[in-house]
Amino acid sequence: MMTRRDALLSTLFGAGYVGLRALATGLPASLLLRPRTVLADPTAMCAAPNKAQFIIFNTSGAGDPINANVPGTYDDTRIAHSADPAMAPTSLTIQGQTYTAAAPWSTLPQNVLDRTVFWHLMTNTPVHPKEPQVLQLMGATQAGEMLPSLLAKQLAPCLGTIQPQPISVGALSPSEALTYGGAALPVVPALALKATLTNPVGPLTTLQPLRDQTLNQIYDLYKTTATPAQRRFIDSMVTSQAQVRNIGQNLLGALSSIKDNSADSQVLAAITLIQMNVAPVISIHIPFGGDNHRDIALATETAQTVSGVATIASLMQQLATAGLEDKVTFMSLSVFGRTLGSTNTDGRQHNSNHQVSITIGKPFVGGVVGSVGPVGNDYGASSIDSKTGAGNSSGDIHAIDTLAAFGQTMLAAIGADPTVVTSTTGKVVASALA
């Protein structure tokens, strides 16, 4: 019978653990599975190889109040904010433009802020279990595909990942689990990843012999049939024994530092999975205040905003240290935001009209897309001008279509076809793209 460890290894590395052979050799898993097809045209399935990015996708079914403390929510003095000095309104600059936000956001390095976009969106639901529908952009995607799945399908051929399916390391509730092609995907917690891969007889300790064995098989296959150009293609990707040894040691070191399933550990797990080229999209959960109906003096909102921004800053620093800052994009989308009115000082209610997503990465020009305005007894996202990204009542992207526009822009950012997201007035926000 298959053990839990074997099941997890199969999830990470595919049938026959082809992903381990890919990691050990440096060769794409697709080449090991379909060598003649891939060599005939290595980029046939990739629409825009120069735009491809790994994506760390932050999502929450809690409906965090992240929307209450970002740029764009300090222009109206009637919007309630935490009175804690740690959340004091603070100026920050993005691409030369000055904004006001809660103090933690100003601590992000300038080079990170200049790639950060704050998106004021409407998800049109106040219901926690509707997060899967929000990830499906509330019916705007073809065949009800989730946005992380759409992104993964487009990116996997370009990145040569072991599997096309996203991996979730941070789902805290059933609503946060991902699907791919309609099929539910397993959750791989950070501690489970550590326990499986750092085992003394685990797969990372056998990379060198696996490399030699796999290369012998490849060279036996191609020494008489491959063209000189095909041989050069293979040789250009093959890792040396020393490189494989370093890969194994570095990955083991990173995984060994995982202590729990916290947001910081999820970040470590996500970066490790990217370094192993396992999947194009890794889903995590960074808390930003949670379901805070009775949050006295907004204490939890304050604490988790401070810690959440710190986790994002740590993520960006780790990516830079690993040489991945231009290859990985951070992206967030949650089920809904929180009410913003001046009575919301001891907790906030569900807000179906306003949620803030954040993107950070090379494909983006930093800034603020959309804005906030009065809606009923509270506040909601405005319409958006697709050319400038400004929020105003005359914008050509209606508030109800801002979620679809976000999805279309995310697809355009990574070189995919944005028309797989259909919407009456949803459009790509071109000004947000580098």
Looking at the structure, tell me whether residues 332 and 225 fall in a common domain.
Answer: no
The rounded distance, in Å, linking the Cα atoms of 323 and 317 is 10
| Lowest model confidence (mean pLDDT) among 55-64, 150-159, 195-204 | 195-204
The more confidently predicted of residues 321 and 37 is: 321
Please say if the pLDDT value at position 174 is more than 80: yes
The more confidently predicted of residues 363 and 195 is: 363
Please say if the pLDDT value at position 88 is more than 80: yes
Count other Cβ atoms within 10 Å, centred on residue 262.
Answer: 18
Looking at the structure, tell me whether residues 139 and 179 fall in a common domain.
Answer: yes
Looking at the structure, tell me whether residues 266 and 392 fall in a common domain.
Answer: yes
Looking at the structure, tell me whether residues 119 and 220 fall in a common domain.
Answer: no
- Which of 134, 47, 156 shows the shortest CA–CA distance to 417? 47
**Considering 240, 260, 280, which residue would you say is the last residue of a domain?**
260
pLDDT at 39 (0 to 100): 60
Looking at the structure, tell me whether residues 202 and 149 fall in a common domain.
Answer: no
Domain count, the chain: 2
- Which of 387, 424, 379 shows the shortest CA–CA distance to 403? 424
Average pLDDT, the chain: 90
Looking at the structure, tell me whether residues 214 and 318 fall in a common domain.
Answer: no
Please say if the pLDDT value at position 297 is more than 70: yes
Looking at the structure, tell me whether residues 324 and 374 fall in a common domain.
Answer: yes
**Considering 260, 284, 303, which residue would you say is the last residue of a domain?**
260
Looking at the structure, tell me whether residues 210 and 228 fall in a common domain.
Answer: yes
Q: What is the pTM of this model?
A: 0.91
Under DSSP, is residue 331 helix (H, G, I), strand (E, B) or coil?
strand
Residue range 202-211, pLDDT digits in tens: 788 888 888 8
- pLDDT > 90: percent of the chain: 65
pLDDT at 342 (0 to 100): 86
CA separation (Å) from 191 to 96, 198, 234, 251, 253? 41, 10, 35, 14, 14
pLDDT at 41 (0 to 100): 57
Mean pLDDT of 250-263: 91
pLDDT at 423 (0 to 100): 67
Which domain covers residue 29, as residue numbers?
Answer: 1-42+198-260
The three-state DSSP-derived secondary structure of 177-205 is: CCEECCEECCECCHHHHHHHHCCCCCHHH
Mean pLDDT of 160-189: 91
pLDDT at 424 (0 to 100): 64
Q: What is the CATH number of the domain that holds 295?
A: 3.40.720
Task: Return the ∠ at Cα 27 (arms to 21 and 28), rounded to 5°.
Answer: 95
Looking at the structure, tell me whether residues 134 and 65 fall in a common domain.
Answer: yes
**Considering 210, 244, 260, which residue would you say is the last residue of a domain?**
260
- Secondary structure element (H or E) that encloses residue 117, with its range: strand 116-121
- Which of 322, 323, 290 shows the shortest CA–CA distance to 307? 290
The rounded distance, in Å, linking the Cα atoms of 155 and 226 is 27
The more confidently predicted of residues 39 and 406 is: 406
The rounded distance, in Å, linking the Cα atoms of 122 and 382 is 8
Please say if the pLDDT value at position 317 is more than 70: yes
pLDDT at 31 (0 to 100): 76
Please say if the pLDDT value at position 261 is more than 80: yes
Looking at the structure, tell me whether residues 248 and 272 fall in a common domain.
Answer: no
How far from chain centre, in Å, is Cα 137?
16
The more confidently predicted of residues 262 and 44 is: 262
CA separation (Å) from 5 to 164, 179, 194, 199, 202? 21, 22, 11, 10, 10
Looking at the structure, tell me whether residues 369 and 428 fall in a common domain.
Answer: yes
Looking at the structure, tell me whether residues 68 and 212 fall in a common domain.
Answer: no
CA separation (Å) from 89 to 10, 79, 225, 339? 48, 12, 66, 18
